[in-house]
């Protein structure tokens, strides 16, 4: 049992490490691959987009075809894709490798959690196991900037992908010996039309946002991309309303608590990922530090999240979702707004606290928002609600990198400096986050859930609902 726990935690560690280690390598990638801001956006968004669109289906796929099989397949795909990324001779090959990495992560991550859920059927033991699983996730997030800085400074950007190879090899060999197969015979069928339409729709909109700055916002190609994206997303809504087992049951959004919490989660992904995309670039290109030092200087964000996150659920259980999420969004927004006023001569003593403030705010926000989404649905759908919450955060991340990157690109095209463009991006992210804090404070209240508990009331069970949900709907 301990071996299974170790393997699943290591798998999630590898996935989460990749989320932050790439940011530290972006300046080196830009120089060695001779690409611009648009290329860097695609390096990040190609991965996040696939994870966002396949995450819900990945959990169902694991339950139908075997959690062990899907977990190991995810490890193989993720590891092989990491090799492709490290050997990429051009930006196109690197983006293709990142797409494959996203496919592997979307299989590996929910399968690892489903394996834990099946191995620990007792609620108390399951809570402890998933707590360790989440803890390893936090360590991966925190280790990324530092590990990325060291690897890039010593060996160049390909090293950040090669580090996944020994981890993946150990996971595969040990998994073949240790993991037992399990599946859920009652798992719903895969919603292929919904998955394809959602991926194509969000992808088309993302294309328009990323390429619009360089091709021109009124370019026929960009306008066609936006039009196609909106049409595909509209078709997705129609299909999801009619298929018997949709990947995203639209009826859940009739609950205001569910809708508000997931809307706020989109903003969290937007602001967190969109701003962190530029952290290392700020220190390297604006303040002139080394890539290694830049990796160290971005640590306050991830460290604050690792330290504060374990307490967010407890605070929400005591004071209610509205209070904790609202305060968290406000702190994150203030931190990002403060970052909008840093410049080349701002000393690090006057920068780190802004990063830490944003990290604390986001850490206080994510768990309560997920808990609110779970409390809005029946206990049997807690895992699904948790998965939707993760998916909306990833969608926000895709849009954040695209939109904030477009702001920087547009400012530069208009003659402003890169530093001024970054200030505009941070200010935009901060303003959107503060507006969301007001929105959440006003609307994440008074909505009665199926069990009659109001959102603003303390809800001690919120954090544990997804842990006791059926494994078929547990996702990361």
- Mapped onto helix, strand or coil, the DSSP state of residue 2 is helix
* Angle ∠(347,353,359) on CA atoms, nearest 5: 135
CA dihedral 162, 79, 301, 128 (to 10 degrees): -130
Q: In this predicted model, what pLDDT tens digit does every residue of 253-308 receive, in sequence order?
A: 988 999 999 999 999 999 999 999 999 999 999 999 999 999 999 999 989 988 99
Phi then psi dihedrals of residue 454, to 5 deg: -85, 150
Report how far residue 401's alpha carbon sits from residue 410's, in angstroms, rounded to the nearest whole number. 14
Tokens standing for 354? 């802004």
Report how far residue 29's alpha carbon sits from residue 156's, in angstroms, rounded to the nearest whole number. 8
Burial class (CB in 10 A: 0-12, 13-18, 19+), 54: buried
Tokens standing for 205? 């909109």
Burial class (CB in 10 A: 0-12, 13-18, 19+), 392: buried
Residue 385 near residue 466, CB atoms below 8 Å: yes
296-325: string of b/e by CB count within 10 Å (b at 16+)?
Answer: bbbbbbbbbbbebbeebbebbbeebbbbbb
The pLDDT value recorded for residue 291 is 93
- Reading the chain (476 residues) residue by residue, the pLDDT tens digits are 678 888 888 888 898 888 889 999 999 999 999 999 999 999 999 999 999 989 888 888 888 888 899 999 999 999 999 999 999 999 999 999 999 999 999 999 888 888 887 887 776 777 677 767 776 777 777 788 889 999 999 999 999 999 999 999 999 999 999 888 888 777 788 889 999 999 999 999 999 999 998 888 999 999 999 999 999 999 999 999 999 889 888 999 988 999 999 999 999 999 999 999 999 999 999 999 999 999 999 999 989 988 998 888 889 888 989 999 999 999 999 999 999 999 999 999 999 999 999 999 999 999 899 888 888 888 777 778 888 888 999 999 999 999 999 999 999 989 999 999 999 999 999 999 999 999 999 998 644 444 444 445 444 433 333 333 333 333 33
Binning the chain into helix, strand and coil, the percentages to the nearest 5 are 80, 0, 20
Report how far residue 197's alpha carbon sits from residue 243's, in angstroms, rounded to the nearest whole number. 13
Burial class (CB in 10 A: 0-12, 13-18, 19+), 80: middle
Q: Which of 85, 388, 402, 113 is nearest to 229 (CA)?
A: 402
Tokens standing for 468? 């006791």
């Amino acid at each position: 049992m301990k071996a299974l726990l170790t393997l699943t935690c290591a798998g999630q560690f590898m996935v989460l490490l990749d989320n932050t280690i790439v940011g530290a390598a972006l300046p080196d990638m830009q120089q060695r691959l001779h690409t611009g801001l648009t290329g860097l956006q695609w390096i990040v968004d190609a991965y996040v987009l696939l994870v966002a669109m396949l995450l819900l289906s990945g959990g169902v796929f694991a339950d139908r075809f075997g959690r062990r099989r899907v977990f190991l397949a995810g490890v193989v795909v993720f590891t092989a894709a990491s090799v492709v990324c490290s050997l990429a001779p051009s930006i196109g090959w690197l983006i293709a490798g990142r797409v494959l990495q996203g496919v592997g992560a979307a299989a590996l991550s929910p399968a690892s959690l489903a394996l834990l859920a099946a191995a620990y059927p007792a609620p108390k033991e399951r809570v402890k196991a998933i707590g360790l699983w989440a803890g390893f996730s936090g360590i991966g997030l925190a280790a990324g900037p530092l590990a990325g800085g060291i690897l890039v400074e010593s060996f160049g950007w390909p090293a950040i992908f090669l580090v996944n190879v020994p981890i993946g090899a150990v996971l595969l060999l040990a998994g073949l010996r240790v993991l037992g197969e399990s599946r859920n015979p009652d798992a719903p069928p895969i919603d292929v039309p919904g998955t394809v339409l959602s991926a194509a729709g969000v992808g088309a909109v993302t294309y328009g946002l990323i390429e619009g700055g360089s091709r021109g916002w009124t370019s026929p190609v960009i306008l066609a991309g936006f039009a196609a994206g909106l049409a595909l997303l509209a078709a997705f809504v129609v299909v999801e309303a009619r298929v018997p087992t949709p990947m995203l049951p639209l009826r859940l959004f009739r609950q205001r608590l569910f809708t508000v919490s997931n809307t706020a989660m989109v903003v969290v992904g937007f602001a967190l990922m969109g701003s962190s995309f530029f952290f290392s670039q700020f220190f390297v290109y604006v303040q002139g530090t080394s890539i290694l030092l830049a990796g160290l200087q971005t640590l306050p964000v991830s460290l604050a999240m690792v330290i504060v996150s374990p307490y967010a659920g407890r605070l929400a259980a005591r004071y209610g979702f509205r209070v904790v999420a609202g305060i968290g969004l406000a702190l994150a927004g203030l931190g990002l707004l403060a970052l909008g006023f840093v410049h080349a001569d701002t000393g690090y003593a006057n920068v780190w606290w802004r990063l830490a403030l944003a990290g604390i705010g986001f850490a206080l926000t994510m768990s309560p928002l997920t808990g609110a989404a779970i409390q809005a649905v029946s206990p049997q759908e807690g895992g699904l609600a948790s998965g939707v919450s993760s998916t909306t955060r990833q969608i926000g991340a895709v849009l954040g990198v695209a939109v904030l990157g477009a702001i920087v690109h547009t400012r530069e095209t208009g003659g402003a400096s890169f530093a001024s463009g970054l200030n505009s991006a941070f200010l935009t992210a901060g303003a959107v986050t503060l507006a969301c804090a007001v929105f959440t404070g006003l609307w994440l209240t008074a909505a009665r859930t199926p069990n009659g508990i109001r959102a603003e009331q303390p809800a001690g069970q919120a954090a544990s609902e997804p842990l006791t949900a059926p494994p078929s709907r547990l996702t990361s």
